[in-house]
Amino acid sequence: MEGPIMSHVVSLPSKVEAAPNTPINLLETVALLNKHLTEALCAEIFQSVRTTEREREWSLFALGRFWTAVALQTPSSTGQALDQAREGGNGLLPEVTATASAAFQRFKTLHWKFFHALYYAFTQRLMAEAQPVFAGPISGLRKRFPSIFLVDGSRLDPIAHKLKIVRNHAAAILPGCVSVIYDLFHGMTRQVLFDPDAAAPELHRAIPLLSSLPEGSLIVGDRLYASIQFFWELSRRKQWGLFRLNGVLKLDRQHLISRKQCGGRTVVEEWLVLVGSGQTAPEITLRLISLRQGDLQRDLLTNVLDPEMLRAEEALSLYPFRWKIERVFFDLKETLNLHKFYTANPNGVAMQLYATAMVYNAFRVAQGRIAQRHGITPEEISPAKFFPKLAQASSNLAGAEQALLGVQRLNPGVQLRLPNVLELPLGRTTLQAILVRERGPNRRRRYFVEGRKRWKSLAHVSGGQKLTKLT
């Protein structure tokens, strides 16, 4: 957005000049996953969530390690990863002796709620090490809002037509959808909720996530969330919202708070408005922030009625950060390969989803650490370059630790002088190799493929309700 207001408010700070060939040791940060994904944590989660489920050799800890290893190494098939696990693992993969059929049965029958609880507990532990270094241009809002979250949802990519119930369907079969709460300042997901019905309403999926967010938080979303029901849910939880106005809501302008002429054809207005018709939900009083800048028009709704708590200029500069959550979905699906599912049943898909989300959060904490250490902003580091290097470093570190353990087992009773694996040249790169490269004027044009309209939720396939346990 251009113009006197927006160019002043959202201008990024000047980049700190860092030596492009500055060496970076990635091994110091890749240990985050092993540090917090412990056997004790998994046992605690399993006991707190279970009802009639029994512990197996494929325990929650073994499953967690298996799927995080899949997210890091992207094997060619599930069978290849299971063969490696039965052969003794590789430092990342767990060491199990159970057959592949036992593993597939576990993927199918263990409810995804176990992995959701594991993801949430892991993220809470990781928060103790995360620093609020992201979104620096709007960091001043932290004085009035303890946290700012972005909310959005996305359908998952299609699964292969392996199940008998979907083999005769020509449409793409979607195994579910996901709703995400993204912490803007810490740069990581705070909640990920899987739904086995890909056609489930996005707004209704997001409401249960609000209970896990602290009071006083500000939630930012697109026009879908500018709903009377959603605003009442926020008010009931003493939370704030900022969403773009959609064309469905009925507005009654009650009082003009302010009108600012910001030079040229730029005008910013603030109104107290009464929203709704009172038929499906009680009317609610909100604040409408309108920007007119030439042909550009942007209308935002918020339940922050005090202009001193959230000024119009701050709201207009904050809303474009909503697109950060779209980058989260891109990194999960493309950079961390969540577009490729290794199983075709909802529980297995959810296991892979939550394991990938845990890897993503650990990598984002590492990204913030490296940015702080080298005096740059985290946004200057490219996840598309940084995440694969971290994944390779994780694999190298796990292999080195496995080799050292093998040496110790072969020399019982011998006091060995072993190297410090963190000092080995297993995960080194340069700052230049992971920095964002500014794109040129020639952009790739994306075309919409008509075939993408032809999809069907697995839950709506004949026999799918039993598989997804929606009945």
Distances (CA, A) of 159 to 167, 205, 267, 349, 350: 11, 22, 49, 9, 12
Indicate the average pLDDT of the chain: 88
Give the pairing type, strands 148-155 and 455-457.
unpaired
Give pLDDT, residue 10.
Answer: 39
Confidence tier at 424 by pLDDT (50, 70, 90) = confident
Give pLDDT, residue 92.
Answer: 79
Supply the DSSP string of 302-344, one letter for each residue: ES---TTTS-HHHHHHHGGGGGHHHHHHHIIIIIS-TTS-S-S
Q: For residues 171 and 458, give the distance between their C-alpha atoms in angstroms, rounded to a whole number.
A: 11
Give me the residues paired with residue 151 across strands: 181
Helix or strand run (H / E) with residue 219: strand 218-221
219-246 as b/e: b if 16+ CB within 10 A: bbbbbbbbbbebbebbeebebbbbbbbe
Supply the DSSP string of 101-137, one letter for each residue: HHHHHHHHHS-THHHHHHHHHHHHHHHTT----S-GG
Distances (CA, A) of 329 to 179, 395, 431: 10, 24, 25
Q: Is the pLDDT of residue 462 over 70?
A: yes
Q: For residues 106 and 353, give the distance between their C-alpha atoms in angstroms, rounded to a whole number.
A: 16
Mean pLDDT of 23-28: 79
Supply the DSSP string of 32-46, one letter for each residue: HHHHHS-HHHHHHHH
Q: Is the pLDDT of residue 89 over 70?
A: no
Instruction: Report which of 468, 449, 358, 455 is spatially closest to residue 157, judged by C-alpha positions.
Output: 455
Q: Encode pLDDT of 93-127 as tens digits.
A: 888 888 889 999 999 999 999 999 999 999 999 99
Q: Encode pLDDT of 363-411 as tens digits.
A: 999 999 999 999 999 999 999 999 999 888 888 887 787 788 888 888 9
Q: For residues 362 and 387, give the distance between their C-alpha atoms in angstroms, rounded to a whole number.
A: 10
% of the chain exceeding 90 in pLDDT: 61
Q: Which residue intervals of 237-321 are DSSP H helices? A: 312-318
Q: Is the pLDDT of residue 156 over 90?
A: yes
What is the Rg, in whole angstroms, of the alpha carbon atoms belonging to the chain?
24
